[in-house]
Structures are given as C-alpha cells and as structure tokens.
Chains A and B, each alone.
Chain A
Amino acid sequence: MRKIKEFVIEKSLLSSALITIAVTFGIISVLAVEAFQFFSEVSIVDFLTDSQWTPLFTDKHYGILPLLSGTLLTSFIAISVALPVGLSISIYLSEYAPKSFRKTIKPLLELLASIPTVVYGFFALIVVTPFLQQIIPDLSGFNSLSAGIVMGIMIIPFISSLSEDALHAVPKAMREASYGMGATKLQTAFKVVVPAASSGIIVSIILAISRAIGETMIVAIAAGQQPRLTFDPTVPVETITAYIVQVSLGDVQHGSIEYRTIFAAGITLFVFTFLLNTLSFYIRKKYRQKYE
C-alpha cells in the first residue's frame, strides 16, 4: 500500500516536471504550424529579403528585415548603455566597495529590474524623449534612441548582478597573488579577476542581449509602429515584439494571413533568443565545473 502511494506521488511529481517539456513543445509547434501556413502563402525568400513590411496595408509586403533592424537597433542601443555601466558597477562592487555597501546596493539595483516594463515605457515616452528633444531638436516623438536608452537602464541590473556573482566567485587567493606582486586593484581586476570570471560575464551579457531582443512594452510605447529598414536612432521604427502587440490590439481574424504574420514574426524572435539562451546555458555549465 505504502509502495503504491509512493509510486503514484513520484509519478505525479514527474508529470509536473514534464509540463515544462510540453510548454517548449507547445511553443515550437504553435509557432511552426502557423508559420508553416504563413510560408505556404509567402515565399521565404521574400520574407528574408524584401525590405518592406506592410501586411496591414493594401499593398502587402512581407519582408522581416525592417522589423529585424528595428529590434537590433533598439537592442544595440540598450546594450551600449547597459554593458559599460553594468560591468563597471559589477567590478566596483566586487573589487572596491566595502562589504556593507555592496550588501545594500545590490538589492536596490535589483529593484530596477523588478519595475514592470510598461512603467519604463512611460519614462521613455513622457520623460526621456522630451528631455532628449532639447538636445536633439530633430528627434521625433517616437524613436529608437530613447526606447533603447531606457531599455539599457532596465537591463543594467541583469549585467551588474550576474557579473558581480561571477567576479565574486573568483577565489580570493587569485587576487592576493596579484596584490602580492605589487598590482593595483584595477590591474588585478582586469588582468586576473575579469579573465577568470569571463565565462560568467559573457553569460550575463548574452542573457542581457536576449532580454533586450524580446523586450516588448518599452519599444511598443516609445519606439513607434513604423517598420522601416534604418539604423537612424532618431526616427520611429517598429520591432518584432511591437508589431505583435500592434496586431493583437487590432481586430484580426483567426486564420487570416495577418493573423499568421505575428507567428512568423514570433518564430523569428524565438529562434534568436533560443540560440542565445542555449549558448549561455552551455557556457554556464562549463564555468560551473571550473570552480567546483
């Protein structure tokens, strides 16, 4: 009797764990099925090479490049803000800051990451864009610059926190050896600690990029809804995620080609983030072994 009970419990716990596999399977098959139907109507060559994305107009074009360029542009701006600031914070906190300071600051920084993204969208549109317009008068009301900068601020704690963990995991003996040779903290940080923690730092950067690519509300609110193939940060653009939101807000019939475009856009997004996440997983595995 007891054995049966134990068996049933184990299997039901297992089935909970298997739900996660079902979720992945579900995501892939949903995206694949709808995207497959999309590609039976639109040639994949057009999808990858056409420089216009106008599924909601009468003259329909289905080129993903404008959405992709919008996504990459905002992500690039975000990472350019978050990487130097985030890494500097992590090195400062791990190598210079007193322990008590580190302990108070880290949760405060993580508070930045807990703010809902719709709130960041508000900042970008209502605060940052008007501010930037004073410096760049030509900046339009919707633009990738302010969306990117605010997204960068949101991502800072991802990089600073994870990188700090990695730096902190480097054995103290390594630092002492370097100090003992007459190195400054800066030399020790950049010649010994950062190289030793490089895999962890790279993981944090990859995850931050993945996060930026998939970020939705900030760009939907502040970057605009105009798909265009450009790398000009002052004009409105549209990202893959913002397009999905735009279509979802409208009244699009299930089974129509417009409906399927969001899955075609979604699978493109998924492929990018899936590759980045898998890469970070393997780097992290290798790095874990190094210190155990």
Chain B
Amino acid sequence: MAKEIKVTMEKAIEKNINISSAIAEDENHAARIDAKDIKVWYEDFMAIKGITMKIKPNTVTAFIGPSGCGKSTFLRLFNRMNDYVDGFKMEGKIKLQGNNIYGKKVLVEELRKEIGMVFQKPNPFPKSIFENVAYGLKIQGIKDKKFINARVEKALKQADLWDEVKDNLKKSALALSGGQQQRLCIARTLAVEPSIILMDEPTSALDPISTAKIEDLIFELKEKYTIIIVTHNMQQASRISDYTAFFYLGELIEYDKTKTIFTKPSKKQTENYITGRFG
C-alpha cells in the first residue's frame, strides 16, 4: 500500500518535471512570451489589428487601455481561452519559450496548466475550499492524497489565505468574502504550479482593502512567476507593474517600462489616457 502511494507520488512529481522541463531552463522557472503580428476577428469584427510584443520573465506586465481596446482579448490568447468563443479567428504566432502555442500538436489542456488564469470576478466552484484548490490536480488524474494535501496547503499559503481558512477547508468556497474568494482563485491557479499567471482585472470586483492584499500578493509572486495583468486602474498599473502596455482600438500604442510610460510617454494618445483626458 505504502509502496503504491510512493509510486503514484513519484509519477506525479516526475510528470510535473516533464511538463516544466522546457521552461525550467530559463532562470527562476519563469517563461517568456513572444507574440508576432497578431490579428483577431470575432465574426467580421476585427478586435486585434496586428500586435507584436514580448513578455519578459519574472516581471509584472500591465495591460491598460479603455474598455473594448482588445487588452482582455489579447491576454486570453496566451492560454487560448478565446478558442471556445463563436466566430473567433486568429492570425499570427504566439511562442512560449520558442514553441508555437497554436501549433497543431499542442494540447491546450497542457498549455493551460503552464499558464494559469485569474478572472475578473472571483469564480470559485460551488465546492469546498479544499476541492477548489485540489481541482487542477485532480483533473490531471493525480490521486495521491498526501501529495494533494501538501500542494493545497502550499498554494493557500502562497496566496496568503491559509491562516484564514486552515480550520474550515471543508466549508463551501461560496461562503468566503469576495476578497478571500479571489485569493482562493489565485491559490487554485498556483496549485498546479504554472510558470505564467494571467490576471484579467482581478481586483475590479473587490473593495480597496482586498485589492491591497491582492496587490501585495502579486508583488510577492513576481519572484517565481511571470505575471500579466489587465487593469483599468492606472494607479494599480503604476504601483505593481514593471512594464506597461497601452492598448487602443485593437492596437498596441506603446509598450515600455512602467516608469517611462507614466512619466514621459512617447505617444500623445498614451499621455492623454494616463492623464485622464479620455477613456
């Protein structure tokens, strides 16, 4: 019995190493995204009009811009979440560590384990706190309880939620507050140990205190992960990001160090937006 568990655990760990091996070459287990000449249509509407950009490892990159500018659409290309949208069409290449993620042999499920996502509104499953965090492991077919328990605890600690929930792991996730739910969703993402985390306006539904906690968390996570965050809050972008990309009408207007963007932007449109003249 004990032997069996050990074998499953070894398998599970081994599998995880396999998946990450391509990325682990990069220092600090972080990845780089390289998007080239991306165009996206929904039916006849052109949502992205040719964007090229590189995301640097172990940084926080913020996507800003007025609603409808394509920043969320662009973010969701990285883990192929747009694939299920009716009428979605894409041109261009997105490479993760040099591999085309829209290639024919790519398994989206594998990609999404590597690139986690946190959504606009906290969206925990109607299950217990524990089951929420363990979900990603269980769908991979991992059954070893010790391994799962350890991962759940680790992820909840990383998401700064462990102390608040450790005594009620069996409680429904829906009973948590909005801020706690969002940290749970972050823990859920961390549990499968991705290398990149996409965040789509993760604090827009939260109060200022919960927002501050999440921002602190993002700052801590930067050490281990590459984070891309879509936000409509410019203060937030300037507080937490290293790089900022400004999108407007489906185009990437300006992309630079956050400091540069907020102090001396090179484009008029960027300046107008960050000074609040439109958007």
Chain A residues within CB distance 8 Å of chain B: 98-99, 171, 173-174, 176-184, 187, 191-192, 195-196
Contacts and interface: CB of A to CB of B under 8 A. Distances in A.
A178 B112 CA distance: 10
A52 to B, nearest CB: 50
A198 to B, nearest CB: 9
Contacts of A184: 109, 139
A195 B172 CA distance: 14
Contact of A176 (B113, B119, B127): B119
Count chain B CB atoms within 10 A of each CB in A99, A176, A181, A195 and give the residue with the most. Answer: A181
B139 A195 contact: no
B81 interface: yes
A182 B140 CA distance: 8
4 shortest interchain CB distances as A-B pairs: A173-B123, A182-B112, A180-B117, A181-B136
B203 interface: no
A181 B119 contact: no
Contacts of A98: 86
Contacts of B79: 180
A107 B127 CA distance: 34
Given A98-B86, A99-B86, A176-B81, A183 B109 contact: yes
Contacts of B139: 178, 181-184, 187, 191
B123 A177 contact: yes
Contacts of B117: 176, 180
A180 B135 contact: no
Nearest to B115: A180
B89 interface: no
A180 B83 CA distance: 12
A184 B158 CA distance: 26
Contacts, number: 66
A105 to B, nearest CB: 16
A171 B112 CA distance: 20
B125 A174 contact: yes
A173 B119 contact: yes
A91 B176 CA distance: 30
A230 to B, nearest CB: 44
A187 B111 CA distance: 16
A180 B125 contact: no
Interface in B191-223: 192
A95 to B, nearest CB: 10
A181 B108 CA distance: 10
Given A98-B86, A174-B123, A181 B116 contact: yes
Given A176-B119, A179-B112, A182-B140, A191 B135 contact: yes
Contacts of B192: 181-182
Interface of B: 79, 81, 84, 86, 108-113, 116-117, 119, 121, 123-127, 135-136, 138-140, 185, 188-189, 192
Given A179-B81, A180-B117, 13 more contacts: A174-B126, A176-B119, A177-B124, A178-B139, A180-B119, A181-B136, A181-B139, A181-B189, A182-B111, A182-B136, A182-B140, A191-B138, A195-B126
A218 to B, nearest CB: 38
A180 to B, nearest CB: 4
Contact of A178 (B108, B110, B116, B125): B125
Contacts of A176: 81, 117, 119, 123
Contacts of A181: 112-113, 116, 135-136, 139, 188-189, 192
A182 B108 CA distance: 7
Nearest to B86: A99
A98 B188 CA distance: 29
A35 to B, nearest CB: 44
A201 to B, nearest CB: 14
B201 to A, nearest CB: 13
A114 B48 CA distance: 47
Nearest to B191: A181
A192 B125 contact: yes
B63 to A, nearest CB: 17
Given A187-B139, A192-B125, A196-B126, A177 B119 contact: yes
Contacts of B111: 182
Contacts of A192: 125
Nearest to B83: A179
A14 to B, nearest CB: 40
Nearest to B116: A180
Contacts of B127: 195
